[in-house]
């Protein structure tokens, strides 16, 4: 018998260890990298299995187990060494931010309700799918904005939160407590999410899987201006503190709305399971008409005294639970796999599907990302595959049908990718093409990257046309009249082979083309001429150097104020620029080492493009002449970058650390404690925002 028990125990103990590792990794990818690898349901099922095993083997208790704490989104917990992410101060929560227990069925909801006191009121709310935030108000002023972090402490992202119009900086009322905390969810609306992903797709950057990931990534950016541009919003759903108004959760939300906070209208007090389920059924359909993402319903005990009496587990409140909407997915036929080549040569497999209706739209195609993704799902043309709407927007294949004997279908014995026309790697169920499907050049795969790439930049048609499309786009050279179809037409006619050819186009060559004419030719040439005044930073972005996006190009152009300076920069020097890592630096160096690129740049220079920035302007005044000024904290009237510009414009010098030579510190809210301590020790003056603006008028 002992042998039998040991035969059972040992595999289960190993399973317990494996589950801990898998769930920790899933937490890290979800909260930190914003790249979820498990669905909520899969995560919860594995978590429950781990809880069962830990209960069976108490000798294996570990306080660091995923069952004992919530996932962490603290920037300092990231495994990456991204220096730009160290600006957020980590602050301990006044009240722990716990996660909610999830349920997926009426039976689980009924079981939860049965454990509550008789006759209890339940508040039903939409579960917004964003990033949790904790807002602290002291005397009506917003002083902290903390992420969930690890539940005990979070990152203070107040500068970014202040860019969200729906979050007030100050509450001008006399009937508010000295301190209160409001919790809620930061969200990226669907419309802004689609626009952001479209931008990233144009730059061949990885797309955000859903608005939640996009909101999370946005809130951790170091540039509040970029955060403001992306258009975040927020819904608030819980108030904490001492001496707060009201005796119920519903009353407090109504009060918060009266104070000017953004509270959802979709809140209802229910008195039975039937009312709760009717609410869930209504919003399972109606939520698709909302401007933001939701993934379920939150149920809370309404009476605050009952909440306190019910208390908490190690990770979740007993007085609240979340019901998760099931992901909408359909089974369909994978007809074939085709391949798209992007402007940087990345070869992306695409699933061509038997059309199905999903979340109100017809889905016929879905990205398959890369070779590894296809192999991990073991899918081939002829298979029936499950298709989900990722974040209700992006169709994605989540697996293939594993038919039961009663559902048997014939999987073609020779099922392969449509790359079978190309030389293939033998001995594998799925074959990825080894040569470019457009130009026949052997594909390469850079170590550490998942994608296969065509290296034939100068001879591969999609890459040539893609680079030209990028060059003329609105955020680059902004040349009207050169759209995708026109570029394809001029390429086929032999008039465009690279971006420099644009400036050799002649009216007579354009006017004779199909669907064009003299007026189109005049408009196009006017746009080409106007592009010669585009600033250096946008010209750099337009060149299409791999991984050099719009924002990165601006930062590089501030440091290297001409292409002549940039051309001779080393990778090590480039890495000193904010947001420029080793890979970007190597791509820039490689670009300037290619003789073909140098020839194109020479032609562009002769065409009159601006390859250098404006000459640096001298100070507008000498009010700060000879002064060394440190900026610390967050500000209400201007951003830190704007204050740096004001200091330089008035003859002052920006310095990063406090010393005896520091003239004064421009001190905003939440000034760094180390800078404050050093300033006090050295007797360095602190100047408020208003005092500084008065000083320079």
Half-sphere exposure (Cβ direction) of 106: Cα atoms closer than 13 Å: 10
Catalytic residue among 127, 396, 465, 467: 127
- Rounded distance between C-alpha atoms, residue 80 and residue 22, angstroms: 19
Contact call for residues 137 and 180 (beta carbons, < 8 A):
yes
The CA distance from 319 to 101, in Å, is 10
DSSP one-letter code for 502: G
**324 given a catalytic annotation:** no
Reading the block at residue 137, the tokens are: 């108000």
Return the closest-CA partner of residue 390 out of 166, 212, 550: 212
- For residue 214, CA distances in Å to 210, 224, 257, 444, 600 come to 6, 15, 27, 30, 36
Which of 167-185 are b and which e, b meaning 16 or more Cβ less than 10 Å from the residue's Cβ? bbeebeeeebeebbbbbbb
End-to-end CA distance of the chain: 88
Pairwise CA distance, residues 644 & 609, whole Å: 30
CA-closest candidate to residue 73, choices 206, 186, 164: 186
Q: Report phi then psi at 198, rounded to 5.
A: -65, -40
- Please tell me the distance from the alpha carbon of residue 110 to that of residue 276, in angstroms, as a whole number: 10
Query: Which token pair is 95?
Result: 């009240």
Strands (E), 241-324: 268-270, 294-301, 320-324
Task: Please report where in the chains the tokens 């108000």 appear, as a residue.
Answer: 137
Q: Which helix (H) or strand (E) holds 367?
A: strand 361-367
90/178 Cα distance (integer angstroms): 23
Is the CA virtual torsion 453, 455, 461, 463 positive or negative?
positive
DSSP designation for 459 = T
DSSP one-letter code for 39: -
Q: Are strands 320-324 and 102-103 parallel, antiparallel or unpaired?
A: parallel
d(CA 127, CA 540): 43
Yes or no: say if 69 and 115 are a contact pair by the CB < 8 Å rule: no
- CA–CA dist 672, 668 (Å, integer): 9
Q: Whose CA is closest to 239, among 142, 166, 136?
A: 136
Our measurement of the distance from residue 647's CA atom to the centroid of its chain's CA atoms, rounded to an integer in Å, reads: 33
- Any idea which residues carry the catalytic annotation? 127
């Amino acid at each position: 018998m002992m042998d039998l028990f040991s035969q059972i125990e040992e595999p289960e103990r190993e399973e317990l260890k494996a589950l801990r590792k898998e769930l920790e990794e899933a937490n890290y990818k979800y909260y930190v990298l914003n790249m979820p690898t498990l669905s909520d349901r899969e995560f919860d099922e594995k978590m429950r299995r781990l809880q069962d095993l830990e209960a069976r083997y108490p000798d294996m208790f570990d306080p660091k187990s995923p069952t004992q704490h919530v996932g962490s989104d603290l920037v300092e917990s990231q495994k990456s060494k991204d220096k730009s992410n160290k600006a957020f101060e980590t602050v301990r929560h006044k009240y722990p931010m716990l996660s909610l227990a999830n349920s997926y069925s009426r039976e689980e909801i009924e079981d939860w309700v049965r454990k509550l006191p008789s006759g209890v009121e339940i508040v039903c709310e939409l579960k917004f799918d964003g990033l949790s935030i904790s807002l602290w108000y002291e005397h009506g002023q917003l002083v902290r904005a903390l992420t969930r972090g690890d539940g005990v402490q979070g990152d203070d992202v107040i500068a970014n939160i202040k860019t969200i119009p729906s979050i007030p900086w100050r509450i001008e009322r006399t009937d508010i407590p000295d301190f209160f905390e409001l919790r809620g969810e930061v969200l990226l609306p669907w419309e802004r999410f689609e626009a952001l992903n479209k931008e990233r797709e144009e730059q061949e950057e990885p797309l955000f899987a859903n608005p939640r990931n996009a909101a999370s990534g946005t809130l951790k950016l170091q540039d509040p201006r970029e955060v403001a541009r992306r258009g975040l919003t927020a819904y608030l759903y819980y108030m904490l503190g001492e001496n707060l108004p009201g005796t119920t959760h519903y009353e407090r939300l109504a009060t918060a709305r009266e104070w000017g906070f953004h509270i959802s209208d979709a809140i209802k007090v229910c008195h039975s399971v039937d009312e709760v389920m009717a609410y869930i059924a209504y919003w399972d359909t109606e939520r698709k008409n909302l401007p933001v993402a939701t993934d379920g319903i939150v149920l809370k005990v309404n009476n605050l005294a009952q909440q306190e009496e019910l208390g908490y587990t190690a990770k979740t409140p007993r007085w609240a639970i979340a019901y998760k909407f099931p992901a909408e997915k359909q089974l369909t036929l994978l007809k074939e796999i085709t391949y798209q080549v992007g402007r940087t040569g990345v070869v992306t497999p695409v699933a061509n599907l038997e059309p199905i209706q999903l979340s109100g739209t017809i889905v016929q195609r879905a990205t398959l990302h890369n070779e590894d993704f296809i192999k991990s799902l073991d899918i081939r043309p002829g298979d029936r595959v499950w298709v989900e709407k990722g974040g209700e927007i992006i169709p994605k294949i989540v697996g293939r049908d594993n038919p039961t004997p009663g559902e048997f279908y014939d999987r073609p014995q020779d099922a392969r990718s449509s790359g079978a026309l190309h030389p293939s790697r033998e001995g594998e169920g799925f074959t990825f093409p080894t040569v470019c499907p457009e130009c026949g050049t052997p594909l390469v795969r850079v170590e550490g990257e998942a994608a296969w790439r065509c290296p034939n930049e100068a001879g591969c048609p999609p890459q040539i046309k893609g680079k030209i499309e990028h060059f003329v786009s609105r955020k680059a050279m902004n040349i009207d009249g050169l759209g995708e179809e026109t570029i394809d037409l001029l390429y086929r006619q032999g008039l465009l082979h690279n971006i420099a050819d644009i400036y050799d186009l002649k009216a007579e060559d354009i006017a004779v083309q199909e669907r064009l004419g003299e007026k189109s030719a005049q408009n196009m040439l006017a746009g080409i001429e106007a592009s010669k005044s585009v600033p250096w930073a946008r010209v750099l972005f337009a060149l299409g150097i791999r991984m050099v996006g719009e924002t990165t190009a601006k930062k590089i152009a501030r440091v290297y104020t001409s292409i002549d300076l940039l051309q001779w920069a080393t990778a090590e020097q480039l890495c000193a620029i904010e947001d420029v890592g080793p890979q970007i630096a190597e791509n820039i160096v490689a670009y300037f080492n290619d003789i073909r690129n140098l020839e194109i740049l020479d032609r562009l220079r002769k065409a009159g493009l601006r390859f250098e920035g404006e000459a640096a302007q001298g100070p507008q005044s000498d009010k700060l002449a000879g002064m060394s000024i440190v900026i610390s904290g967050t500000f209400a009237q201007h951003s830190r970058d704007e204050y740096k510009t004001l200091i330089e414009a008035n003859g002052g010098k920006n310095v990063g650390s406090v010393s005896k030579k520091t003239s004064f510190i421009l001190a905003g809210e939440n000034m760094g404690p180390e800078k404050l301590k050093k300033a006090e020790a050295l007797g360095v003056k602190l100047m408020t925002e208003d005092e500084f603006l008065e000083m320079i008028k």
